[in-house]
Structure 1
Amino acid sequence: MPTDVAKATKRHKEMNRRGRGFTDFGVDLSASDGDSSLPLPLKGKLHDLFGQIEKEFELLYCENVRLHEEIEVLNERLGNTSGDKAEEKDTVDGAKSLIKKSGSQISQKIKLTYKTSTSKIVSSFKTAPPASHLTREFRGHRDGVWEVAVSKTSQPILGTACADHTARLWCIESSSCLGSYIGHKGSVNSIRFHPTQDLVLTASGDQTAHIWRAQVNVPPHVENLRSHSSGEDDLDGSEKEECEADREQLHEPNILRTPLLELTGHQGVINAADWMAGGNQVITASWDRAAHLYDADSGEIVNTLTGHDEELTNVCAHPVQKLVVTSSKDTTFRLWDFRNPSMQVNVFQGHTQQVTSAVFAGPDKVVSGSDDRTVKVWDLKNMRSPIATIRTDSAINRLSVSPNQHVIAIPHDNRHIRIFDIHGVRVGRMPKGGRQGHTRMVCATTWAEDHTTCNMFSCGFDRKVLGWMIHLNPKE
């Protein structure tokens, strides 16, 4: 019971933070469902290795039998020979020495064979995780960062949504802030870029979602500022904040206060909002247990999606099809199909605690993460049970799937980020703690596969926004 109370208290605090912001108040092995998830080549290699082990033990067994036969012959000679005691003693001692020596040799050969064979088995399954290292750090937010996103246009821009009531745009190359949006009156809980235009969609605890323009230019002196600040890693926390303040005085980012369009109608905190395929409509998810579909030009509500029993935690739209997934604290996520005029709805029931995120992976798969410490991969053609389950040691937050490689970046409550493929096989590990990685809960991740400097980004309660370079193996 104390554990349940602690969890409830933690989630209550998180809900308050998403609604009003922090300052206002003061994983590893994977497993797959089914009989076996091993690829056929690995199964074949496993059988070959165990076959080799069996042959080695057969040879050892035959040698052991031969040695015992020799010992028996010696024993017979001892029984039939009436030599003097000295000769008998020497023979007995020789027999004992032979037995001891042969036993030692057999023991050593068995150990060597077992060690060599098991090493082969382990090495055959042990895939070296792709090298990953921290390449960028984006500093400036004054509170926990809820979400991070990358623009889909040619300009390399990073967007962040923070509990300090602001959303920021960053230059990925220089790590400098290009602009801030301060139009919301509550915590900014999500940020998403328009698929083709320089537009940004943010959702907030003030019960509104805003559409605003992301027109920024990279100043020519940004690189100089960045080179002058290269020694910040040697400073303590207070000195870093002072250095950051000095940098902001030298380069004041563009500040935007007024949205192009304000979307209203929810009766609770809006946790997330996303662009529908094509960018003509917007979908939102709120604590009022509903999702609203808006016209992105007029701001009018086109449709209201209801059915979840508890608050919604996230929403994600398919990049090319009229499909939406909404996740909820009621332990389910729902697939809404707008391609059918009657709007077909499918409910996915596979988690035991709140579903924190559900995102599309490719044209026909969905990946869901939950506080029950599992990530599940679902095939939209067979939605009764997941095709893969990843079990971890901590609650999962807003995960992301790389568009081309279909690799999952999983952010955890315990400060870690884990990398798995779509089949549930772990393919990478991120640095944790110390000078690299997050020091508090990681809230979200996102991918930018085409970027040459860093292809994955993360954000967390520690106010950090980090850029990583992860070398992924090509998809076979």
Structure 2
Amino acid sequence: MPTESGSCSTARQAKQKRKSHSLSIRRTNSSEQERTGLPREMLEGQDSKLPSSVRSTLLELFGQIEREFENLYIENLELRREIETLNERLAAEGQAIDGAELSKGQLKTKASHSTSQLSQKLKTTYKASTSKIVSSFKTTTSRAVCQLVKEYIGHRDGIWDVSVARTQPVVLGTASADHTALLWSIETGRCLVKYSGHVGSVNSIKFHPSEQLALTASGDQTAHIWSYAVQLPTAQPIADTTQQVCGEDEVECSDKDEPDVDVDVSSDCPTIRVPLTSLKSHQGVVIAADWLVGGKQAVTASWDRTANLFDVETAELVHSLTGHDQELTHCCTHPTQRLVVTSSRDTTFRLWDFRDPSIHSVNVFQGHTDTVTSAVFTVGDNVVSGSDDRTVKVWDLRNMRSPIATIRTDSAINRINVCVGQKIIALPHDNRQVRLFDMSGVRLARLPRSSRQVFK
């Protein structure tokens, strides 16, 4: 009996203490709300030299931060209640379990283990909420303005890849699911050459580093090398597109005043139907292909889980790169070194080293939790990888144990590209948005998106 009355007394004291603690927290919360509400009203009412748009943006950001902290505060209160409930239950179990008492050390160990789990959950909640707030700050640190300058209309199906020639004349190349690759004048938007040698979707296009040659990969299980000769038309003055300017936070631009275009402009282009060389050895879709530095060899990536290295002049298979457990999604070569990076649905990307002609080494990187959709080199010593896990990671080739920057997004990442000169990362998403980031992971802008249903 003394034991029971003592335990009841202890329980009542704990309950009263918890009520008073909860009451003090609510009072503190209400007083904090009163204190935070006053400066905001003063900020809205006082005279300021800031433009109204900037002030509204600041107020919106402060409101978002306040809401995030409020949600975090509520979650922490719930976690505290769970911890107190758990401690009470453990204390009750410590009184008697089937007539036997737990030792003080056993009870302490059990309570410590359960509390540590809840503490880890608390830390995770803090980290997740804080990352949202930090992301909000990042989106407003730099507001670049993107302007629609030119449209390239002519494909009859989705465009899988875009590339720019490295030699004169500088042309734009596009690879499409309509079984063709088109070359365009960048200045005028006119189609210059159509390649129709594939019998499947054209999944990628890359230009030779020093000659007028193009390398295309296709769903017909082949990669083609073909030659082109173009004469650039005279550039016309660029029309005024000031109405098309989109800020970072705008989702799409309106095209209400522009007529829908449904003309096959590629039908007037000179057509190439036969390749110079056909690279054959894969047993599945060839999803990507690229030139090694120097242009004497080419690498292809396929859904048959292999990447193959070919001699361009003879079309002979030099190496078959095996090791991925699932389909390959992309391949890329280093601009100045004999290095190849391949990405796969097995959540990894691999770095292949061909700098020593006698042997080639491979390093496997497991930095993602879902399909790695692409991994590309930059001019320096960095690799940028994108994944369906909604993250993009920047790696240092000299130390790839952990990424030097991580970009977290709200949608899966498609085939990424890097602007070599300005070190800007372009991220196309499954939600039809394209965002621009710098190499440190700070968002710079969002590209304007047309609402018209045409293929560009």
User: Structure 1, residues 56-90: CA drift from partner, whole Å, max 9, x if none?
Assistant: xxxxxxxxxxxxxxxxxxxxxxxxxxxxxxxxxxx
Determine helix, strand or coil for the equivalent of 2:413.
coil
* Distance (whole Å) between structure 2 residues aligned to residue 349 and residue 105 of structure 1: 48
SS at match of 1:357: strand
Who is 1:296 aligned against?
312
1:418 aligns with one of 432, 435, 454 = 435
1:67-78 equivalences in 2 (<5 Å): none
> RMSD of aligned C-alpha atoms?
3.1
Structure 2 unaligned regions, length at least 5: 1-33, 49-54, 63-135, 241-254
Return the match for 2:371 from 354, 361, 367: 354
1:380 aligned to 2:397? yes
After superposition, residues 45-444 of structure 1 pair within 5 angstroms as 112=42, 126-219=140-233, 234=257, 237=260, 240-241=261-262, 244-245=263-264, 252-340=268-356, 341-434=358-451
Counterpart for residue 463 of structure 1: 455
- Residue 281 of structure 2 aligns with an amino acid whose one-letter code is G
Could you say if the C-alpha distance between residues 179 and 111 of structure 1 is closer, same or farther in structure 2, counting changes exceeding 3 Å?
Answer: same
Tell me, in whole angstroms, the C-alpha distance in 1 between the residues paired with 2:220 and 2:359: 32
Find the aligned partners of 2:351 and 2:289 in 1 and give their Cα distance.
16
- Return the alpha-carbon distance in structure 2 between the equivalents of residues 269 and 254 of structure 1: 27
Query: CA offsets, 1:88-142, max 9 Å, x none?
Result: xxxxxxxxxxxxxxxx9999679658999x9699899743322111111111111
Mark the CA change 1:344 to 1:135 in structure 2 (over 3 Å): closer, same or farther: same
Secondary structure of the structure 2 residue equivalent to 1:346? strand
Deviation at 1:434, TM superposition (A): 3.6
What displacement does 1:326 show?
A: 0.2
What letter corresponds to residue 216 of structure 1 in structure 2? V
| TM-fit CA distance, 1:386 | 1.1
TM-score (norm 1): 0.63
In the aligned structure 2, how far is the partner of 1:428 from the partner of 1:296? Answer: 39
Alignment check: 8 A CA contact 1:129 1:429 kept: no
Q: CA deviation at 1:431?
A: 1.8
State the match for 2:66 in structure 1.
Answer: none
Q: Normalized against structure 2, the TM-score is what? A: 0.65
Distance 1:107 1:392 in 2: 32
Deviation at 1:379, TM superposition (A): 1.1
User: SS at the partner of 1:359?
Assistant: strand
Alignment-mate amino acid for residue 429 of structure 1: R
Worse overlay, 304-313 or 358-367: 358-367
Residues 391 and 297 (structure 1), Cα distance of their counterparts in 2 relative to 1, 3 Å cut: same
CA deviations 1:237-278 (Å, max 9, x no partner) are 4xx21xx24x566xx211001111111111111000000011
Give 1 or 2: higher strand fraction: 1
Higher relative contact order (CA closer than 8 Å, sequence separation 6+): 1
Quick one: structure 1 residues 113 and 233, their matched pair in 2 at CA, closer, same or farther if it must change by over 3 Å? closer
Distance 1:124 1:138 in 2: 35
Listed one character per residue, the Cα deviations across residues 132-163 of structure 1 (whole Å, up to 9, x for unaligned) are 11111111111111101000012120001011
Q: Give a deviation string over 1:402-448, Cα, whole Å, max 9, x none.
A: 1122110000010100111111111112223546xxx6xxxxxxxxx
Runs of at least 4 residues off by over 3 Å: 104-116, 118-126, 232-237, 432-435
Secondary structure of residue in 2 paired with 1:137: coil
